[in-house]
């Protein structure tokens, strides 16, 4: 499905180990911001904390095997990080939205599929929509791949940036569907993800001309960035899903700070990776 740049395949076990390490970092990044925002309201368990980490760790090697991006290079490692991040988030959010059974009364904004802010109670309906949702995502990736095969000009930098915003638009409409009935429609919030996705796509266009890979990876970095902004730049402001809900575990407001150095170290590595991409572009 994917066509990595020449020389990015490494026929040894080393890239598998490196891809697992990248998956570990991506998972810990996602696990940490998730814990940081939720633990004061839901409490902390290591099992819940490592859930995203485990998913990312398990999918990293298969994603490397499919895409062939070399985790031993800055460009390949950054592509894999973005891809793993986006796929892990898609798996986790699809499960929570459509397939998990959970009491939604503890949330201000329902985490399960909702229509105009009211959760869909029918399990069958949620499962049906969930299967369709996953099929649309998979079909979209396949469609982009086939479109680029038919129209190679889509691999130009201009088109990559334009199409790279697709993941952001997908996220923007999904977020508006979920949040707007409760919080109201926010123009900045709606356009934030598509604009950021286009920006990340521009950077990643210096690594590969594969549109589908860029769309997915760019969305991974958009999620990592927006969640960092919302979680750590406004630590005292409850997230929308817990707005007006009490802090049931106030000790976590202190304990969660111990995870900040790890989170910061991962971001430092990512920023260094972006600098290396722009300093030594593959294409």
- Answer yes or no: are the C-beta atoms of 49 and 93 closer than 8 Å: no
pLDDT over 80 at 50, yes or no: yes
* Predicted pLDDT at 180: 63
Which pLDDT band, with edges at 50, 70 and 90, does 224 fall under? very high
262-278, pLDDT tens digit by residue? 999 999 999 999 999 99
Q: How many angstroms separate the Cα of 95 from the Cα of each of 26, 44, 111, 243?
A: 19, 20, 10, 23
H helices of the chain, in order, are 14-42, 46-67, 74-94, 123-150, 157-164, 166-183, 187-204, 211-232, 252-255, 260-279
Q: How many angstroms separate the Cα of 4 from the Cα of each of 62, 66, 166, 249?
A: 15, 10, 20, 47
Calculate what percentage of the chain has a pLDDT beyond 70: 91
More confident residue, 121 or 32: 32
Q: How many angstroms separate the Cα of 219 from the Cα of each of 6, 195, 200?
A: 24, 11, 8
Range of weakest confidence among 95-104, 182-191, 217-226: 182-191
CA distance 197 to 219: 6
Q: What b/e readout covers 176-190, taking b as 16+ CB neighbours within 10 angstroms?
A: eebbbbbbeeeeebb
Give the bridge partners for 114, in sequence order.
119
* Predicted pLDDT at 28: 98
- The mean per-residue pLDDT over the stretch 212-225 comes to 96
Which pLDDT band, with edges at 50, 70 and 90, does 103 fall under? confident
SS3 16: helix
- Answer yes or no: are the C-beta atoms of 96 and 112 closer than 8 Å: yes
* Predicted pLDDT at 5: 52
Q: What is the DSSP letter of 115?
A: E
Closest CA to 160 of 221, 213, 201: 201
Q: Where are the domains of the chain?
A: 14-279
134-150, pLDDT tens digit by residue? 999 999 999 999 999 99
- Answer yes or no: are the C-beta atoms of 214 and 208 closer than 8 Å: yes
How far is residue 8 CA from its own chain's centroid?
23
- The mean per-residue pLDDT over the stretch 36-57 comes to 95
Neighbours of 134 (CB within 10 A): 14
pLDDT over 50 at 205, yes or no: yes
Return the half-sphere exposure (C-beta side, CA atoms, 13 A cut-off) of residue 277.
21
Which pLDDT band, with edges at 50, 70 and 90, does 116 fall under? confident
Mean pLDDT, the chain, integer: 89
Range of weakest confidence among 118-122, 159-163, 167-171: 167-171
- The mean per-residue pLDDT over the stretch 233-254 comes to 84
- Answer yes or no: are the C-beta atoms of 57 and 20 closer than 8 Å: yes
SS3 154: helix
Which pLDDT band, with edges at 50, 70 and 90, does 13 fall under? low
* Predicted pLDDT at 185: 66
Return the half-sphere exposure (C-beta side, CA atoms, 13 A cut-off) of residue 226.
23
Helix axes 14-42, 211-232, angle to 10 degrees: 40
């Amino acid at each position: 499905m994917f066509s990595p740049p020449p020389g990015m395949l490494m026929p040894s076990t080393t890239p598998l180990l490196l891809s697992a390490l990248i998956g570990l970092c991506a998972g810990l990044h996602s696990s940490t911001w998730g814990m940081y925002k939720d633990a004061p309201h839901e409490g902390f368990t290591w099992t819940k904390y490592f859930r995203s980490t485990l998913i990312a760790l398990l999918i990293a090697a298969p994603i490397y095997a499919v895409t062939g991006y070399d985790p031993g290079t800055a460009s390949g490692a950054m592509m894999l990080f973005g891809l793993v991040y986006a796929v892990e988030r898609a798996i986790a959010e699809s499960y929570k939205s459509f397939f998990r059974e959970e009491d939604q009364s503890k949330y201000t904004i329902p985490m399960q599929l909702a229509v105009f802010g009211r959760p869909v109670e029918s399990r069958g309906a949620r499962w049906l929509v969930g299967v369709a949702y996953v099929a649309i995502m998979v079909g979209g990736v396949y469609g982009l791949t086939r479109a680029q095969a038919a129209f190679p000009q889509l691999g130009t930098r201009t088109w990559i940036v334009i199409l790279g915003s697709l993941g952001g638009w997908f996220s923007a409409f999904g977020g508006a569907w979920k949040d707007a009935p409760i919080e109201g429609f926010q123009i900045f919030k709606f356009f934030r993800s598509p604009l950021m996705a286009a920006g990340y796509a521009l950077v990643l266009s210096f690594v590969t001309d594969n549109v589908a890979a860029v769309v997915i990876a760019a969305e991974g970095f958009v999620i990592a960035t927006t969640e960092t902004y919302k979680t750590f730049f406004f630590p005292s402001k409850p997230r929308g899903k817990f707005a007006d809900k009490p802090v049931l575990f106030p000790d976590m407001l202190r304990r969660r700070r111990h995870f900040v150095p790890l989170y910061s170290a991962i971001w430092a590595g990512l920023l260094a990776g972006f600098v290396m991409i722009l300093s030594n572009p593959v294409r």
